[in-house]
Amino acid sequence: AFFKPAHIPLAGKTIVVTSGPTVEPIDPVRYIANRSSGKQGHAIAAALARLGATVRLVSGPVSMPDPEGVSVIHVETAREMKDAVEQLLPVDAAVMVAAVADWRAEAQAGQKIKKQPGAKPPVLQMVENPDILAGIGHHAERPRLVVGFAAETQDLLANARKKLEKKGADWIVANDVSQASGVMGGDRNTVRIVSKLGIEEWPDMSKDEVAARLAGKIAEALEIIET
Ligand code: CTP
Ligand code: CA
């Protein structure tokens, strides 16, 4: 065993985090995207770095500055995010917080689509994007700890459990993103950690507090898995 100071619990660990939305182009001036400020993902990246981890943040376009002490890879589309994440393997843990666009336009127009007098609006043919979390959860170089998020507006726990199973994740951080919850773009979050062992309910707290607590839980888990 090597010397590991108690106050740097994630020293020597590399963790990949995704954050923000992905944006999927329709033509050179238009895109489809998800609502995501990047606040929660960026806060988690920063909290892991504060615990001593080498953090690689793969982020879609956000208006937030790069977190301190974190190396950031900026991407736009789901496919770019997936490639960036997979190129970072092997890592000790992966935390997938990004709001990845589920679909993209099948074909991207090379030129701006113009309105045609009297013509109907264009119909977009969509295709499904790859699932980045599921790809990592079932990867040959799977990290020892794989954490996903589940943004739900209804049936939170049932949906989170399904995602845990289907995506090969160890934990799903489930959060209610219904309008009433105010979580989208806001500074607070109420989450539940769903794992094979059961459900841990966390009280309402700031996104920074969620990040700090999750980083601590990740540090604890990596230590247990190691020994
Ligand atoms: N995720 C991903 N790649 C995708 C879609 C989702 O990596 N193409 C990840 C998210 O980063 C998150 C988790 O999967 O960690 C759950 O995302 P969510 O949108 O809640 O789940 P979906 O599987 O896309 O299901 P749905 O949107 O239909 O609820
Ligand atoms: Ca989705």
Q: Residue 62 C-alpha to ligand 2 middle, in angstroms?
A: 18
Q: Residue 150 C-alpha to ligand 1 middle, in angstroms?
A: 7
**Cα separations (Å) of 123 from 64, 113, 169?**
33, 12, 36
Per-residue pLDDT, averaged over 205-219, amounts to 97
ipTM for this prediction: 0.99
Q: Residue 155 C-alpha to ligand 1 middle, in angstroms?
A: 15
CB-ligand 1 contact for 23 (6 Å cutoff): no
Helices marked H in 39-198 — which ranges? 39-50, 78-87, 132-137, 156-167
Ligand 1 atom at shortest distance from the alpha carbon of 136? 7
- Percent pLDDT > 90 in the chain is 84
Catalytically active residues are: 34
pLDDT tens by residue, 133-167 = 999 999 999 999 999 999 888 999 999 999 999 99
Ligand 1 atom at shortest distance from the alpha carbon of 130? 8
pLDDT at position 177: 82
Using a CB cutoff of 5 Å, list residues around ligand 2, an ion: 102
52 vs 177 pLDDT, higher one: 52
CB-ligand 1 contact for 133 (6 Å cutoff): yes
Q: Does residue 112 have a known ligand-binding role?
A: yes
**Judging by beta carbons within 10 Å of its beta carbon (0-12, 13-18, 19+), is residue 62 exposed, middle or buried?**
middle
* Superfamily of domain covering 14-105+126-226: CoaB-like (3.40.50.10300)
Angle among Cα 100, 101, 104 to the nearest 5 degrees reads: 140
pLDDT at position 44: 98
Q: Which residues make beta-bridge pairs with 147? A: 95, 171
**CA torsion through residues 170, 175, 176, 179, sign:** negative
